[in-house]
Structure 1
């Protein structure tokens, strides 16, 4: 679907992170104590080999998204001359603000990856301490860690990949929109049962990049937690995405809900076109 992050990019990123976490947990069995394991993970996380790996993994993910967003702009450009002009502007700026945004996101994701070995070591150390205080034998704790943490690693890799890919996708689209002066987007949900209630209700609502909505406040439900103001894809485990508003032909309904200053306002098509200035 246009503008939505491709599943293959998320899955590849998830597999790479899972392999990394598995390798870290697997190293625990080769050490005699949680303290030695922590020290080894700190040394590993600061090694040149691992720093290079983190940068390469982040670069593969971000450049993949970068190419996909470029294809979305190219497909949108087929509709009319205005779209083609916007696409040309973005392509010509590859070495400018757009390229800088891509490199910034690579560095941000590489920084996250670099924290994973020490994070695993901390979790293992804390778990070991808790179980030791219960009087359990060290060898029993070690066996349980080698069984329990791989399952946790898989779940964590999935959460990290889904969250970071969606956040990066949204950030790339926002950066491009700022470059061409497109200040509004349509919130798009994934239309399935796994989507949060508030995110399902946000589907189709027009929002401003300068004024992110608060979905849980706009559509409260008893068990939902407040996550504040954010764009689609900008909170954990969110698969929503923004559809940039760059052409009048995108405004096809007679009325729209528009989020302005934290409130939803019903607007006619003609008023929406004037508001978003396309």
Structure 2
């Protein structure tokens, strides 16, 4: 007898770990501060740089010293990221364990992991390695833009210093977004892999239920969705016919996969699986 014909029971939604988000945000912000310190030490408070800057203004051209300073900062910034990058798999394992602990409250037997979950954690680590490296890259692109523009406009070194310090806020905001978005994505993808490994193929969409919910997510609130196909939905578990999400303007992604998505899934489990 298929799971659809058996008496069913819904588990609760599987939220992401707020502790994992806080820890990741803390470490990313610490990394931003390290890169900021490199910029301050090598540019803002470096007399050799200030002299080169003033020389560049007189010549209306960026000197080699300025170019070399930016290259030096970039090199040391990426080297300081090694510890943060090395901790990614450990973070992924923490999220996986948090996810599993909630599952075990509603399902009798939940393996600690499987090949699909392991793959999800590895892919997450690879993607976050890339994202971490973009933090100094984008910061230094902004720094270079400020320096070059200041040279062309002949701004004072004091004005340049003020603009450089203001540029760091952009990187701080990006670090916060990465932490919130990526922990949610990892939890969503692990939830999907864990559901499918247990033979659970359907879930109910649960939004954050507030004014910040996007329309494409809000229209799926309470709908029954398929883990095997992110483009379909149905209104109730007993419905036999699946409908296209695009017909109601729904997003073709699973909960947590869209940028900054706060939605979660409520697994449709059989009575036999239930604890």
TM-score of the aligned structures, taking structure 1 as reference length: 0.71
Q: State the alpha-carbon separation in 1 of the partners of residues 25 and 78 from structure 2.
A: 22
Q: 1:12 aligns with which of 19, 23, 41?
A: 23
1:134-182 CA distances to partner (integer Å, 9 max, x unpaired)? 4423441222211x12322332122111111111111111222232332
Aligned counterpart, 2:185: 167
Superimposed CA distance per residue, residues 221-247 of structure 1 (whole angstroms, 9 cap, x where no aligned partner): xxxxx9x63222112221112223223
Instruction: State the Cα deviation string for residues 81-110 of structure 1 (Å, max 9, x = none).
Output: xxx14x2xx23xx36443343334333323
Cross-structure match for 1:142: 161
Asked if 2 retains the 8 angstrom alpha-carbon contact of 1:25 and 1:149, the reply is no
Could you tell me whether the CA contact under 8 Å between 2:231 and 2:245 is conserved in 1? Answer: no
Report how far residue 37 of structure 1 moved. Answer: 4.5
RMSD of aligned residue pairs (Cα, Å): 3.0
One of 236, 248, 253 as aligned partner of 2:259 = 236
Q: Taking structure 1 as reference, are residues 97 and 199 closer, same or farther at Cα in structure 2, changes over 3 Å only?
A: closer
Residue 265 of structure 1 is matched in structure 2 by: none
1:23 to 22, 34, 46: 34
Matched, 1:54 2:72: no
Query: Tell me, which stretches of 5 or more residues in structure 2 are unaligned?
Result: 1-11, 43-48, 50-64, 233-243
CA contact (8 A) 1:45 1:51 kept: no
Report the TM-score when normalising by structure 2.
0.71
Q: 1:201 to 1:97 in 2, by over 3 A?
A: closer
Q: Equivalents in 1 of 2:66, 2:188: separation in Å?
A: 39
- Check 1:184–1:36 CA distance in 2 against 1; reply closer, same or farther (3 A cut): farther
Instruction: Specify every segment of 5 or more residues in structure 1 that has no aligned partner in the other structure, as ranges.
Output: 78-83, 221-225, 251-278
Quick one: structure 1 residues 216 and 97, their matched pair in 2 at CA, closer, same or farther if it must change by over 3 Å?
closer
CA distance 1:53–1:13, shift in 2 (3 Å): closer
TM-aligned CA distance change 1:129 to 1:187, over 3 Å: farther
1:274 equivalent in structure 2: none
